[in-house]
Amino acid sequence: MKVIMSWTYGSAKKPTCEFFSDWLDAENALIITDDLEKAGRLKQVEFRDEAGISWSKKELRKLLVETEDEPQDVTIYFDGGYQKENGLTGIGIVIYYSQGKKRWRIRMNALLSELVSNNEAEYAAMYEAVRQLEELGVRNRPCTFRGDSQVVLNQLTGEWPVFEENMNRWLDRIEEKINKLGIKPLYEHIARKENAEADRLATQALNGEEIFSKLNVSEN
């Protein structure tokens, strides 16, 4: 969980000043707060999370205890590849998240049929990514989705219109599930080389290699 700290610095008979931090891990923000309090220069502090919700120190500490075992700090890479000659689609998904004070990575792919374009393959990969978040137990969290299809990402954000009926159906399914889970999506367009892991998984699916793995990457 990321937060921005805002605090008032000052002491008796001396000027006061307002400060604002960059985005910090909530745990680190609390450590900094404790240190400022020990120095006797902290008059007031507030924390704002990525959803714009404000927390007091007591509320934030309680929240971290209550949600310690829930998946958080979630980033998803997705990609889809379509082979027109045989009508097959490969999708690849990589999910990074924190849980139980550890950082995890899930890699998975799937082979699909009856899709009609590369854009539809990207939508199918995005939908499966959200479905994997549902199975993982991600609820009411900001999640970052990264892909190399500018068309699909801009359509997901609403910046570009969707004219194809089948794409609209995928979009509706994705939005319905995201809303059901309370996920607050952030869509980021990245270069293909930055999406190499998901792209490789999609290619492996097309080659008949099925993959699903979970790895603790906090020790790597």
pLDDT digits (tens, 9 = 90+) for 66-90: 777 889 899 999 999 999 999 999 9
176 and 95 fall within a common domain:
yes
40 and 84 fall within a common domain:
no
What's the pLDDT score for residue 219?
A: 67
Q: Rounded to two decimals, what is the model's pTM?
A: 0.81
98 and 193 fall within a common domain:
yes
Least confident residue range of 44-53, 107-116, 170-179, 185-194 = 44-53
- Report which of residues 147 and 42 the model is more confident about: 147
51 and 80 fall within a common domain:
no
- Report which of residues 15 and 172 the model is more confident about: 172
Torsion from C-alpha of 127, 130, 131, 134, nearest 10 degrees: -160
50 and 85 fall within a common domain:
no
Please say which residue of 11, 37, 66 terminates a domain: 66
104 and 89 fall within a common domain:
yes
Number of helical (H) and strand (E) elements in the chain, helices listed first: 6, 10
The answer to whether the CB of 2 falls within 8 A of the CB of 30 is no
pLDDT band at 220 (very low <50, low <70, confident <90, very high): low
48 and 137 fall within a common domain:
no
Residue 76's closest CA among 128, 37, 41, 118?
128
Number of domains in the chain: 2
Give the rounded percent of residues in the chain with a pLDDT score beyond 90. Answer: 76
110 and 191 fall within a common domain:
yes
Please say which residue of 66, 97, 122 terminates a domain: 66
122 and 16 fall within a common domain:
no
What's the pLDDT score for residue 65?
A: 85
Give the domain extent around 156.
72-216
106 and 188 fall within a common domain:
yes
